[in-house]
């Protein structure tokens, strides 16, 4: 089974704008997606961790999936169908197929401990439910478990694994994943947004990242420099600026640190689904101000300027 989702590229792990009543803000979503499309990114992952998927109802997730597919066209869209409940995974997988998505993403089973055999069975269940190629989504800090290499190896023999997204702090895990990917013919997408030159040098095929939501220009520059031989500009300056983005964003917890960057670029992000206290909201405002200062220094205009 083949997928039309790109095997390489800079993919946005999309943040989703919902209002206080939990309704999707389509105008804000359209503005953001139009801007991302114009930037030249290669695809969208909807309902990932940046999109706060565990906090959304099944209907909210379906609404978001359908809206993003419609508004992101012609960009390819992949949906994360992870859930604690197998029937929800099956329902979302079937819905992704009905929408004509080229692939789905799936994290390991949430909350409860699982054996390697059960983790493999979970991935097989998701692939069977969707009848689509699968991106394995490794983010141990959020799921509480890592996807072992042997599980990935066995999965490639049983289901159409199109790739893996490697997120979290274990940067060294990229190396054996890339080696296995070359042997088995799948792609490795990194979530290490601020280390892209290094990621690409060791053999990753692209990135699926939250920072794509607000600094796609710099991330695409690094991708094009490596994969397309882009010349000119100042690569060291871009690396330094991405490191500065990483420093700023590290001052606030994920995923609302991504929202701070988006607000600084002029986007309406809606209401986070998480409960935040006053101090956290104050810190978030500080990040917005700091990002705005840096973006002005770097000549990255807010979206209002881009649309005027």
pLDDT digits (tens, 9 = 90+) for 143-156: 999 999 999 999 99
160 vs 296: CA distance, rounded Å: 45
In angstroms, rounded to a whole number, what is the distance separating the alpha carbons of residues 165 and 237? Answer: 27
Mean pLDDT, rounded, for 232-241? 91
What CA–CA distance (Å, rounded) separates 285 from 288?
Answer: 5
What's the rounded Cα separation, in Å, for the pair 95 and 89? 10
Confidence (pLDDT) at 2: 43
Distances 146 to 48, 119, 189 between C-alpha atoms, Å:
17, 10, 16
Q: Is the pLDDT of residue 201 over 70?
A: yes
- Contact between 9 and 43 (Cβ < 8 Å): yes
What mean pLDDT is reported for the chain? 95
Would the pTM count as exceeding 0.75? yes
Per-residue pLDDT, averaged over 83-90, amounts to 97
pLDDT digits (tens, 9 = 90+) for 20-29: 999 999 999 9
With a cut of 50, say whether residue 263 has pLDDT above it: yes
Tokens standing for 4?
């039309």
Would you say residue 308 has pLDDT above 50?
no
If you average pLDDT over residues 121-126, what whole number do you get?
98
Percent of the chain with pLDDT over 70: 98
Task: Extract the tokens encoding 13.
Answer: 């792990």
Q: Running DSSP on this structure, what letter comes out for residue 78?
A: E
* Topology adopted by domain 9-231: TIM Barrel (3.20.20)
Q: How confident is the model at residue 1 (pLDDT cuts 50, 70, 90)?
A: very low
CB 208 within 8 A of CB 191: yes
Report the distance separating Cα 188 and Cα 133, nearest Å: 14
Instruction: Please name the helix (run of DSSP H) or strand (run of DSSP E) that holds residue 171, with its range, or none.
Output: none
Q: Crossing angle for the helix pair 256-264 and 235-249, nearest 10 degrees?
A: 120
Q: Is the peptide bond before 74 cis (omega within 30 degrees of 0)?
A: yes
Please, which pLDDT band fits residue 232 given cuts at 50, 70 and 90?
A: confident
**pLDDT at 167 > cutoff 50:** yes
């Amino acid at each position: 089974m083949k997928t039309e989702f790109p095997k390489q590229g800079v993919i946005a792990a999309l943040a989703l704008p919902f209002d206080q009543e939990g309704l999707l803000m389509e105008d804000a979503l359209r503005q953001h997606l139009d801007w991302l499309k114009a930037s030249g990114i290669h695809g969208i992952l909807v309902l990932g961790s940046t999109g706060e998927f565990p906090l959304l109802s099944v209907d909210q997730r379906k609404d978001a999936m359908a809206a993003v597919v419609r508004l992101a066209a012609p960009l390819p869209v992949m949906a994360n169908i992870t859930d604690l409940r197998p029937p929800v995974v099956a329902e979302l997988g079937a819905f992704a197929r009905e929408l004509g998505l080229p692939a789905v993403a799936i994290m390991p089973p949430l909350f409860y401990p699982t054996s390697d055999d059960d983790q493999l069975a979970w991935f097989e269940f998701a692939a069977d439910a969707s009848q689509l190629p699968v991106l394995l989504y490794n983010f141990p800090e959020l799921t509480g478990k890592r996807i072992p290499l042997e599980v990935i190896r066995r999965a490639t023999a049983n289901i159409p694994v199109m790739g893996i997204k490697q997120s979290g702090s274990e940067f060294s895990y990229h190396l054996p994943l890339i080696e296995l990917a070359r042997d088995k013919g799948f792609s490795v997408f990194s979530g290490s947004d601020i280390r892209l030159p290094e990621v690409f040098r060791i053999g990753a095929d692209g990135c699926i990242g939250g920072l794509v939501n607000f600094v796609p220009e710099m991330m695409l520059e690094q991708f094009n420099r490596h994969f397309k031989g882009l010349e000119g500009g100042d690569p060291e300056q871009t690396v330094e600026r991405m490191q500065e983005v990483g420093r700023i964003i590290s001052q606030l917890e994920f995923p609302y640190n991504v929202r701070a960057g988006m607000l600084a670029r002029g986007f309406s992000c809606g209401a986070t689904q998480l409960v935040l206290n006053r101090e956290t909201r104050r810190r978030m405002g500080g990040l917005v101000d700091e990002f705005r200062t840096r973006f002005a220094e770097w000549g990255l205009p807010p979206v209002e300027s881009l649309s005027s």
